[in-house]
Amino acid sequence: MTDFHSWFFASWILCYLTISKCSNGIVQSFEGESVILPRKYDSKYHGKCPICWMIGDIPNMGCGNEIIGSDGDKVVRKKSYRYQLEGEIRHGDVSLTILNIQKTDSGKYGCRIHVPGLFNDEMYYVHLIVNDETSFDHRESSSVENKDSVNASAVIVPVLLLLLALIVIAVILILKHKKKTRAAVDITQNSENSVIYSNSGSSVGLYNREMAVENIYQIQPENEYEH
């Protein structure tokens, strides 16, 4: 009995650990929409595997509250037309599509993939959150507001850039005009200085000529006296 108890305990632990290996995900959507609960498995490694989706917890064996099932190639069971497997089932895409979801569809969904071998089944949980239409309308209005803001920005930003460019061009033109004005003033001042210098030089030349003539007149009488 002791060996039997040890074997039973070890088998229970192995089974518990295997069953506890579950992945989890969260999907949110709105009433009236179609939603996809994603799930894939490695069909190249495991081959084609039967699968089932259920609402609620995945039991130790079987599919519990099953809503749709596949034999690995196609859908063989489903509870309602709203539940679909629209992916490539034979290639491992067993994502669940729920059409026209309602608030009552919110909850936990489980997927069991029957992998060949003892305790090899893969299990996956998805928590579906369905928001009501009010939230959807709020999302739509927020989207419209965001679009309006984007459109306003698309108009305002180019106008501001254009005004900035015009201001920069105006400043450049003003600086160039001031530079030309300063250059013209400098040229005028230099010309006036040249004229003054020339006039002063002419006066000095006339003065020197008058002095030379006077000296000539002073020299000529002395020569006549000597003769």
What pLDDT score does 180 carry? 83
Same domain, 40 and 99: yes
Q: In this structure, is residue 48 part of a structural domain? A: yes
Q: In this structure, is residue 107 part of a structural domain? A: yes
User: Which of 52-56, 117-121, 134-138 shows the lowest mean pLDDT across its residues?
Assistant: 134-138
Q: How confident is the model at residue 191 (pLDDT cuts 50, 70, 90)?
A: low
Same domain, 126 and 173: no
Q: Cα(71)–Cα(85) distance, rounded to whole angstroms?
A: 12
pLDDT at 120 over 60: yes
- Placement of tokens 């928001």 in the chain: 131
Does 62 or 183 have the greater pLDDT score?
A: 62
Domain end marker among 114, 131, 148: 131
Q: In this structure, is residue 104 part of a structural domain? A: yes
Q: How confident is the model at residue 23 (pLDDT cuts 50, 70, 90)?
A: low
Highest averaged pLDDT of the listed ranges 6-10, 112-116, 218-222: 112-116
What pLDDT score does 88 carry? 95
Same domain, 34 and 112: yes
Q: Which residues are CB-neighbours of 32 under 8 A, at least 6 positions away?
A: 100, 101, 133, 136
Same domain, 105 and 188: no
Identify the CATH number of the domain in which residue 27 sits: 2.60.40.10
176, two tokens: 């160039």
Q: How far apart are the first and last CA of the chain?
A: 177
DSSP code for 51: E
Same domain, 201 and 108: no
Domain end marker among 96, 131, 166: 131
97, two tokens: 């599509």
- At 58, the amino acid letter reads I
Which residue segment(s) compose the domain that 191 sits in? Answer: 156-211
What pLDDT score does 107 carry? 96
Q: What's the pTM value of the predicted model, to 2 decimals?
A: 0.52
pLDDT at 129 over 70: yes
Same domain, 118 and 166: no
Q: How confident is the model at residue 34 (pLDDT cuts 50, 70, 90)?
A: very high
Which three-class secondary structure state does DSSP give residue 1? coil
Which three-class secondary structure state does DSSP give residue 72? coil
Q: How confident is the model at residue 193 (pLDDT cuts 50, 70, 90)?
A: low
Q: How confident is the model at residue 218 (pLDDT cuts 50, 70, 90)?
A: low
Same domain, 31 and 115: yes
Mean confidence (pLDDT) of the chain: 77
Same domain, 124 and 160: no
Whether 119 and 21 have beta carbons less than 8 Å apart is answered as no
What pLDDT score does 41 carry? 95
CA angle (51 as vertex; 36, 60 as ends), nearest 5: 110
pLDDT at 52 over 90: yes
Tabulate helix, strand, coil % of the chain (nearest 5). Answer: 55, 20, 25
Tally of domains within the chain = 2
pLDDT at 109 over 70: yes
Same domain, 44 and 122: yes
Whether 32 and 101 have beta carbons less than 8 Å apart is answered as yes
Same domain, 169 and 83: no
Q: In this structure, is residue 16 part of a structural domain? A: no
Q: In this structure, is residue 44 part of a structural domain? A: yes
Q: Cα(10)–Cα(20) distance, rounded to whole angstroms?
A: 15
